[in-house]
Amino acid sequence: MPNGNLSNDIRRIESTTMADIVELRLREFLKKKAFKPGDALPKEIELAEALDVSRNVVREALSRLRMLGMIESRKKRGTVLAEPDIMGGFERVMDPLILDQKTLQDLFELRLVLEMGLADILFSRITNKDIDQLEQIVEKEVNKIQQPFRLKFEVDFHSKLYLMTGNDTFQRFQNILLPVFEYVVKEEQKLTGKAKVGKVTHRDLLDLLKKGKPEDFRKGMKEHLSPHFERVKKRTINR
């Protein structure tokens, strides 16, 4: 008889609770009936009868949808479909202290890619006021060349870039990823004693915004973020 760990050879049955199934059925129902934000859902007792489950199970499933921001309670209307809040769920769980290292690194890489893609939007929406405000941020930097590295200046400069896009989702996403960025950079400083910076500084990036083209800024941003991309490469090689 073959030896070995039986649990490695047989695929386990996934544990699905009644509330899981009811939550899925409710999602399907909302899609099938093309519910729109503000539309009232049937009462708990009606849902329980239609699904042939207890009201407690329905209540738990509805509670999950409420936590996801999909439904909400309104006075005199009961439970209604909510206006989707794409970022709400992320904002509630985005805490570096409760995320594993792989997830933190994945999110950090996502931010790098986002910042590489800001160029065209920035150049189409930048104003003289934006330039003045970036100038003020750069003027505060030590020696104006980011040496030594200061996390505050990095956050201030890049946060302003996101704000300049005028895109609310971009800004919220940046706020969500900011704690991850700060956490990863601080961990890097603990390991190496300092955080590396690219040859292209904030001053250089500002000059590219003033006089360059989107492609120039994109290349400059890549060089500015190059120490972080190098770390990404090392991670890939060591997998």
80 touches 41 (CB < 8 A): yes
Per-residue confidence at 230, pLDDT binned at 50, 70, 90?
confident
Q: How far is CA 28 from the centre of its chain?
A: 26
Decide: helix, strand or coil at residue 140.
coil
User: Which of 149, 239, 125 lies closest to 202 in space, CA to CA?
Assistant: 149
Residues 56, 123: Cα–Cα separation, whole Å: 54
What's the one-letter identity of residue 192? T
Residue 162 neighbours by CB distance under 10 Å: 21
Which residue, among 237, 233, 205, 202, has the nearest Cα to 218 in the 3D structure? 205
- The predicted-structure confidence for 68-80, as pLDDT tens digits, reads as follows 888 999 988 899 9
CA–CA distance, 189 with 206 (Å, rounded to integer):
26
Domain ranges of the chain: 9-81, 89-237
Question: Does this chain's domain 9-81 share its CATH topology with 89-237?
Answer: no
Q: CA–CA distance from 138 to each of 3, 49, 198, 210, 218 (Å)? A: 66, 64, 16, 14, 19
Give the pLDDT confidence of 82-140 residue by residue, as tens digits: 987 767 767 776 777 777 878 888 888 888 888 889 999 999 999 999 999 999 999 88
pLDDT, tens digit (0-9, with 9 covering 90-100), for 188-217: 777 666 666 678 889 999 999 999 999 999
In 3D space, the residue among 128, 150, 130, 129 whose CA is nearest the CA of residue 201 turns out to be 150
pLDDT for the residue numbered 204: 93
pTM of the complete model: 0.65
Angle between helices 18-32 and 44-51 (to 10 degrees): 110
Q: Which fold has domain 9-81?
A: Arc Repressor Mutant, subunit A (1.10.10)
Q: How many C-beta atoms surround the C-beta of residue 92 within 10 A?
A: 12
Superfamily of domain 89-237: GntR ligand-binding domain-like (1.20.120.530)
pLDDT in tens, 166-189: 998 888 888 888 887 777 777 777
